[in-house]
Structure 1
């Protein structure tokens, strides 16, 4: 299995183009199989930032590309010695 980091639309476009070419598909053939327009294939391979996500996902599926999202851990800015704020449900606030 090949792992590629996709960090922007250009790297995604390059990944799609490389896979299409490895599968020996022409752009019109891929467009037909993925049920998208040829212009869409051209745009995504050129890194167009406004391509529709649903179509991109369909294209990736047709090409056999599986994407996995990872999340960085969330680091709290609160120090261990800071007390947590508590909210009193009975607090009354003045009307503005």
Structure 2
């Protein structure tokens, strides 16, 4: 993935997400320190996230993505039929 051609799309690993976030940040000529200040996140966390740290806190990851102007969208994988939402009912006994 180059700075000039950030590829947005399917993310399958933490490394994919970190690589995309880093390319997006660099494309916008933002430093880790700038994003850190804007999002109130440590440069160390951002660096680890961009390197694909699997144990990065999801709340901080989402905050970093928002700070970069990115959002997450979840959908069924191609070729996998979604299962209907399970409905639960409570029986009231009087």
Q: Which has the larger radius of gyration?
A: 1
Determine if the TM-score, normalized by the shorter chain, exceeds 0.5. Answer: yes
4+ residue runs over 6 A deviation:
none
2:54 maps to 49
Rounded Cα–Cα distance in structure 2 between residues aligned with 1:14 and 1:3: 11
Rounded Cα–Cα distance in structure 1 between residues aligned with 2:14 and 2:56: 9
Q: What is the total number of aligned residue pairs between the two structures?
A: 74
Work out which of the residue numbers 26, 37, 53 in structure 1 matches 2:42.
37
Using structure 1 for the length normalisation, give the TM-score. Answer: 0.71
Task: Give structure 1 stretches of 5+ with no counterpart.
Answer: 76-96
In the TM superposition, what is the alpha-carbon distance from 1:6 to its structure 2 partner? 0.7
1:69 partnered with 2:74: yes
In the TM superposition, what is the alpha-carbon distance from 1:3 to its structure 2 partner? 3.4
**Secondary structure, aligned partner of 2:56:** coil
In the TM superposition, 1:76-91 aligns within 5 A as none
1:23 partnered with 2:28: yes
Task: Give structure 2 stretches of 5+ with no counterpart.
Answer: 1-6, 84-94
RMSD of aligned C-alpha atoms?
1.5
